[in-house]
Amino acid sequence: MLSGWLRACALLMVGLVSASALAAEKQHTAIVVGAGMAGLTTAYELQAKGWQVTLLEARPTLGGRSALASSEWIGNAKVQPVLNQYLDRFKVQSVPAPEFVRTPGYLIDGSYFTAADLAVKQPETAAALKRYEETLDNLARSIDDPQNPASNNTLFALDQINVANWLDRLTLPTTARQLINQEIRSRYDEPSRLSLLYFAQQSKVYRGVDDRDLRAARLPGGSGVLAEAFAKQIKTIKTNSPVSAISQDKDGVTVKVGAVGYQADYLVLAVPLRALGNIQMTPALDAQHQGALKSTNYGWRDQIMLKFKTPVWDSKARMSGETFSNTGLGMLWIEPALKGGANVIINLSGDNARLMQAFGDKQLVDQVLIRFHNFFPQARGAFTGYEIRRYSTDPSITGSYLAFGPGQISKYWRLWEKPIQRVAFAGEHTDPLYPGTLEGALRSGQRAANQLQDLAAGKTLDVIKVGPQAPAPAKPVETKKADDEPGFFSRLFGGKAAEKAPEPIPAPVPAPAPAPEPVPAPVAPVVAPVVAPAKTAEPAKKAPAHKPAVKKEPVKKEPAKKDAAKKEAAPAHKAPAKKAEPAKTPAATDVKN
């Protein structure tokens, strides 16, 4: 009797231990929404950690905003370490870039210039570009920590100023201003829609990064090749699965796709903010997140590939890499086609892209081809076709990449890095150092996977603070350097007037968007010709100075409302403006495309 009772107790204990072991070994489940590069990375990393993952993609294809280019210029391991790690892991081969494509060029009124050419043939323009770069470098030096750019009241105030106001104070010659405007709008958005603090922060991140490191190799097949490599590793991918609703409770999450529901322990949303705004969340997002969905600025960009059976440009120019135009051609680069011939990739961005929204695809291509033909008369005879991606009007993107507008860092900086209960966020817009880039998307996917692992382990994740972390002193303390001007804003804006004590910053007033650079009138009839502005010198703007107050607390003003609109869709990295000193890299991993 006693032995039977002992045997029963032993069996009970074995059962309890087995149940406990099974519970401990229970496989975690996750749903990842969005199969762009961030979502693919998240799903791959979670699966590698032993999770059961379902990847849902609204479109029929993977890769999200991966670029249209059939080959892309990518950075080396110094500036894009995460990208290069995955290329090595998946054995995706790149081709070293020739030296002549590793620095930007300029197409000025149809003539191609390298930086060296410009110094000889247009010394005034070259000198103005150098002055701009030096001033930008001084601005970048003002950012101590690029992961907390608004760390004091002086820097906080820069978020109330747009980049166009800052450029106006430099009084640049017309051609130089046109080229600089084009560079900024190609990499971010229209200067008038861009926060000066965000521009300074990004300049700090890339300070000291050489252009040669940013275009160190060519990736045949473009970033789509990397997307395919990820997809081969992921077990469950469901395309044509647009998510309409998400609900979460203490036990898990439920995702609605049409009439079908998917359940999991945790969820990662790896979609652009505009697409996220179309998903019903239960419980609903708080007011700050809702505000970010509605107002965070995205740059506008349309990308066009013109295909030619033979190159039609001057072979001596060897035009390639990034080429910035002072006319309606925007930013372009030339690449060899995979099956012979040559392609020209053209990025129409900023207000130039906004103006073209009334055109259909064929009309838009005709307008671009007309301008290209003006400079290269053999273009029409060698033209064989085109491809186009209109990110600006794509309902799931409505833009290209994150580009914080004035006042938006103050409100939304690093907002999407912290999970909300069982939901984490990924995407280029969630990476503080490399937003708008392929590197940033990959980094965000790694971070989101790690966050889910921590949540499943019961860890509490730290809240990421926004804005100044401590009250500022009554007067900013400047450490005088040999190359410093009298004060921060004197160096920022220059001129005698700027050496006076700063005045209180007024409430920001929405600045009207400047007219885009002159676009030559069409030289051949098209279905609906552009009514282009006359080709005149771009006037230097004289907007009133926005100077910050020197007060004990941050200036609390409502930022100007900006048009909401904004990867993984241009070249594999968004090359930044040229800067000079090693980039400050976070303790985690690290790269707009």
Tens digits of per-residue pLDDT, 25-42?
689 999 999 999 999 999
pTM: 0.77
**450 within a domain of the structure (yes/no):** yes
Residue 10 belongs to some domain of the structure: no
- CATH classification of the domain holding 275: 3.50.50.60
Query: What's the mean per-residue pLDDT of the chain?
Result: 78
Could you tell me the pLDDT band of residue 208, with boundaries at 50, 70 and 90?
confident
Local confidence band at 533 (pLDDT 50, 70, 90 cut-offs):
very low
Q: In this predicted structure, what is the pLDDT of residue 70?
A: 66
- 86 lies in which domain range? 27-94+219-296+401-456
Q: Is 484 contained in some domain? A: no
Confidence of residue 578 (pLDDT cuts 50, 70, 90): very low
Q: What is the mean pLDDT of residues 431-455?
A: 96
Q: Is the pLDDT of residue 109 over 90?
A: no
Model confidence band, residue 341 (pLDDT cutoffs 50, 70, 90):
confident
Exposed, middle or buried, 371 (CB in 10 Å: 0-12/13-18/19+)? Answer: buried
Residue at 589 is within a domain: no
Confidence of residue 13 (pLDDT cuts 50, 70, 90): low
Predicted local distance difference test score (pLDDT) of residue 85: 97
Residue 161 amino acid letter: I
Instruction: Judge whether residue 334 has pLDDT over 90.
Output: no
Q: Which of 25-39, 202-216, 514-528 has the highest mean pLDDT?
A: 25-39
In the DSSP assignment, the letter for residue 63 is B
Spell out the residues 6+ positions from residue 319 whose beta carbon is closer than 8 angstroms to its own: 105, 107, 112, 313, 334
Judged by average pLDDT, the poorest of 166-170, 344-348, 388-392, 535-539 is: 535-539
Any domain includes 439: yes
pLDDT at res. 220 = 84
Strands (E), 383-503: 383-390, 423-425
Share of the chain above pLDDT 70, in %: 70
Distances (CA, A) of 278 to 245, 273, 293, 536: 9, 9, 10, 43
pLDDT at 124 over 90: yes
Domains in the chain, number? 1
User: Could you give the angle at the alpha carbon of 156 between the alpha carbons of 424 and 503, nearest 5°?
Assistant: 160
pLDDT at 592 over 60: no
Considering the domain boundaries, does residue 360 fall inside one? no
pLDDT value, residue 4: 63
Residue 294: count of CB within 10 angstroms of its CB: 12
Asked if residue 587 is part of any domain, the answer here is no
What is the rounded distance in angstroms from the CA atom of residue 39 to the CA atom of residue 427? 7
Q: What is the C-alpha end-to-end distance of the chain, expressed in Å?
A: 77
How is 374-401 classified by DSSP, letter by letter?
A: HH-TTHHHHEEEEEEEETTT-TTTSSSS
Beta strands in 116-205, from DSSP E residues, in sequence order: none
With a pLDDT cut of 90, the percent of the chain lying above it is 46
Please report the pLDDT score of residue 281 as a whole number.
Answer: 97
pLDDT score recorded for residue 326: 87
pLDDT at 572 over 70: no
Given this model, what pLDDT does residue 11 score? 56
Give the separation between CA 215 and CA 219, rounded to whole angstroms.
10
**288 belongs to a structural domain:** yes
Q: Which of 88-97, 161-170, 311-320, 529-538 has the highest mean pLDDT?
A: 161-170
- Residues 273 and 397: their CA atoms lie apart, in Å, by 8
The most confident of the ranges 227-231, 388-392, 566-570 is 227-231
Reported as a pLDDT band with limits 50, 70 and 90, residue 314 is low
Residue 561 has pLDDT above 50, yes or no: no
C-beta separation of 113 from 123 below 8 A: no
Instruction: Tell me what pLDDT residue 6 has.
Output: 58
* Of 591, 333, 585, the residue nearest 437 (C-alpha): 591
- C-alpha 468/C-alpha 224 separation (Å) is 40
